[in-house]
Amino acid sequence: MTTTDSRGSAFESAISAATRPVNGQLPRPWMTDLTDPHGARVLIVGRNPARGYDATTLDHARHLDALFNRNGQSCRALYDELAGEPSPTRRNIDMLRTLLSDAGVDHVLETNVICYSSPMSSDLAKPEHVGGREAGTAIFRLLLDHIRPRVLMAHGAGTISDVAAIIGASLKPARSAPGEPAHVEFSGMTLISLPSLAPPAWNRWQGWAREHLWSAAEMAAVALGKRPGDV
C-alpha cells in the first residue's frame, strides 16, 4: 500500500529533479505557506512568473527548503529577498489570498501554467529561453498529477487557454464585466476563470476586482464544503 509519506517523498523527489537549473535560472514551481505543498486543495494559476531566481547565486538545496517552508527558509521570505519590491501582480495575488483566507479557504498553492520565468510571456520565444516553456509546463503537469486540487482558479486569457488544453476541459472565458465568476465543474474540480491579475490587463477591471475576487473566494469555499467565513 502506498502511504501518504511515500507519496509526499515521491512528490519532493520529482520537484527536486524538475527544479534543476534551466538557462541559468531555478524554476519556481509555486508560492505557498504550506509545509506540505502536496496537500494543497486550491491552486491559483497564472501564466508564468516575471522574476527569475539566478542559479548562480541561489543554492538548489536552499531553494527546495524554501519551497517546503522548512529549515528556517520560506517561499515568501526568499521571494522578498531575491525579488525585492513585490510586483503589482504579486500584490494582487496577495489580495486574493487574503480574501480566500477570509472565506475560510486554506491549503492554497499559487503556481503558473509555465513554471519558468521571463519578463513577459512573449519573451519565452527568445533564444535565451529555449526549452523554458517546455520545462515550465512539465512542472505544472507534474503538480496536477500529484496534487489533484479540488479548486483551480486560472487568471488571464492565456492561462485559461493553456489550462484548458492541458487538462482537456472547456473552461469558460473570464468575465469582462461584473457578475458571478465564470466556472465549470470537471473531473472533480471546480475550475474558476478570472480576468488577469497582471497589468496592463488588470487595469481594465481593477474597479470591480475586489468584489469579483471575493465572489470567487466564496465559490471556492462552497466547493470545499465550507460556509464562506468558516475557519
Question: In this structure, which amino acid lies at residue 131?
Answer: G
User: CA-to-CA distance for 82 and 76, rounded, in angstroms?
Assistant: 10
**CATH numbers and ranges of domains, the chain:** 40-49+87-223 (3.40.470.10)
pLDDT of residue 9: 85
pLDDT of residue 1: 38
Place 8 in a pLDDT band, splitting at 50, 70 and 90.
low
pLDDT of residue 84: 82
Mean pLDDT in residue range 98-126: 95
The mean predicted confidence, pLDDT, of the chain is: 94
pLDDT of residue 2: 43
pLDDT of residue 192: 98
Tally of residues, the chain: 231
Cα–Cα distances (Å) from 11 to 19, 117, 199, in that order, read: 12, 22, 33
Mind listing the pLDDT tens digit for each residue in 36-89? 999 999 999 999 999 899 999 999 999 999 999 999 999 999 999 998 888 999
Mean pLDDT in residue range 136-145: 97
Q: Are 11 and 146 in contact (CB under 8 A)?
A: yes
Q: Is it the case that residue 3 has pLDDT exceeding 70?
A: no
Mind listing the pLDDT tens digit for each residue in 12-28? 999 999 999 999 999 99
Q: Are strands 189-194 and 151-155 parallel, antiparallel or unpaired?
A: parallel
Name the least confident of 117-131, 152-166, 179-193.
117-131
What residues are paired with 189 via a beta bridge?
Answer: 186
String of b and e for 90-122 (b: at least 16 CB within 10 Å)?
A: bebbeebbebbeebbbebbbbbbbbbbbbeebe
Listed residue (131, 158, 118) closest to 20, CA to CA? 131
Mind listing the pLDDT tens digit for each residue in 165-223? 999 999 999 999 999 999 999 999 999 999 999 999 999 999 999 999 999 999 999 99
DSSP characters over 32-101: -S-S-GGG--EEEEES--SS-EETTTS-HHHHHHHHTT-TT--HHHHHHHHH-SPPHHHHHHHHHHHHHH
DSSP 171: P
What residues are paired with 137 via a beta bridge?
Answer: none
Q: Is 193 helix (H, G, I), strand (E, B) or coil?
A: strand
What is the rounded end-to-end Cα distance, in angstroms, of the chain?
A: 33
pLDDT of residue 58: 96
Q: Is it the case that residue 231 has pLDDT exceeding 80?
A: no
Q: Find cell 495575488 and name the residue.
A: 93
